[in-house]
């Protein structure tokens, strides 16, 4: 296991010595929207103040206006990455919204196997868009390893992307505190994770066989064009579009549709919906959508799953 100290979890934020005015908050709202597509609402003001205060202290600046001016100056161009990393929220778990992975295992994989039986290629492409610290793409990879017996005969690639370079670096390490995997059934833990010892006690690492299925890349979903040259069987974009306004959501869904195969599936977060946003997808259930024109899949055979 590589030596690595995982990032500290969410801790109570200290009271900031800085205050942010209405005008300054509006400036940062516009800046965040321009660079990430995220629409910050008023109730995020304290979060913005807390997270950006750390950047002010690190740079020796005395006000949010000075920080904003610095970001917009040539000298502050490199700081934009730190700014985006500070603002974006990263919260995820292994097997979060587990019904999605059951659908992948019980419906999509059998359909892909049937495609092979009809002469199709043993090829699977999945995109985890907004992958955060890696739990989602690794859960996808584990699901595929469990569901496909002759895995080495398949060409499987999982693209995992995020705008936050810090969480991508942690995700690539694939090291997590034991409490992050406490809800994973022991047989899966034993097959797909390695226990840390000595200085690494209390940590686990995803096995190399699982990690080899996943490629991490920084992708801003607002970028045009995306640096992607393939079409996908599935796109997971969960708990991401909730932070965008409706026009941005609409454009994003249009672009996702062009990157999905005709029988491709889109997975959204539990509080997200395409109602009034896109007519290019057919709703199945449990925030699972199929691109229009794709083949029918039966409803999920298991009882309604829980996370």
Provide the 8-state DSSP code for 13: P
Question: Is 229 annotated in the active site?
Answer: no
Residue 97 has a CB neighbour count (10 Å cut-off) of 23
Catalytic residue among 125, 145, 162, 164: 162
Q: Burial letters for 178-190: b for 16+ Cβ neighbours within 10 Å, e otherwise?
A: eebbeebeeebbe
Structure tokens at 25: 């908050």
Structure tokens at 176: 């997590």
For residue 208, indicate whether it is catalytic: no
Residue of 200, 215, 220, 199 lying closest to 81 (CA atoms): 220
Secondary structure letter of residue 121 according to DSSP: -
CB-based contact 272:60 (threshold 8 Å): no
Buried b or exposed e, range 123-156, using 16+ CB within 10 angstroms: ebbbbbbbbbbbbbbbbbbbbbbbbbeeeeebeb
Ordered strands of the 281-285 beta sheet: 214-218, 155-162, 123-129, 232-236, 260-267, 288-291, 281-285
- Alpha-carbon span 210 to 143, nearest angstrom: 10
| CB neighbour list of residue 143: distance below 8 Å, 6 or more residues apart | 101, 104, 105
Candidates 193, 164, 163; CA nearest to 180 is 193
Residues carrying an active site annotation: 51, 162
């Amino acid at each position: 296991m590589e030596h690595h100290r995982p990032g500290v979890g969410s801790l109570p934020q200290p009271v900031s010595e800085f205050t942010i005015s209405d005008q300054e908050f509006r400036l940062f709202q516009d800046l965040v929207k321009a660079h990430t597509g995220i629409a910050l609402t008023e109730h995020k003001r304290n979060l913005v103040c807390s997270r950006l205060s750390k950047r002010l202290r690190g740079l020796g600046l005395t006000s949010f206006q000075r920080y904003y001016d610095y970001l917009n100056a040539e000298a502050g161009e490199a700081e934009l990455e730190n700014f985006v990393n500070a603002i974006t929220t990263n919260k995820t778990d292994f097997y979060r919204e587990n019904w999605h992975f059951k659908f992948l295992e019980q419906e999509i994989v059998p359909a892909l196997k049937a495609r092979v039986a009809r002469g199709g290629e043993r090829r699977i492409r999945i995109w985890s868009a907004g992958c955060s610290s890696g739990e989602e793409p690794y859960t996808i990879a584990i699901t595929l390893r469990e569901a496909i017996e002759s895995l080495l005969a398949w060409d499987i690639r999982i693209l995992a992307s995020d705008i936050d370079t810090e969480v991508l670096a942690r995700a690539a390490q694939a090291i997590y505190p034991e409490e992050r995997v406490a809800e994973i059934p022991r047989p899966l833990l034993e097959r797909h994770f390695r226990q840390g010892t000595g200085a690494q006690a209390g940590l686990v690492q995803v096995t190399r066989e699982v990690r080899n299925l996943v490629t991490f890349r920084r992708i801003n979903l607002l970028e045009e064009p995306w640096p992607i040259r393939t079409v996908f069987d599935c796109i997971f974009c969960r708990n991401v579009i909730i932070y965008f306004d409706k026009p941005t959501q609409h454009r994003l869904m249009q672009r996702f549709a062009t990157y999905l195969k005709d029988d491709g599936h889109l997975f959204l977060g539990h509080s997200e919906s395409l109602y009034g946003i896109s007519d290019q997808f057919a709703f199945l259930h449990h925030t699972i959508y199929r691109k229009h024109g794709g083949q029918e899949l039966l409803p999920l055979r298991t009882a309604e799953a829980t996370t």
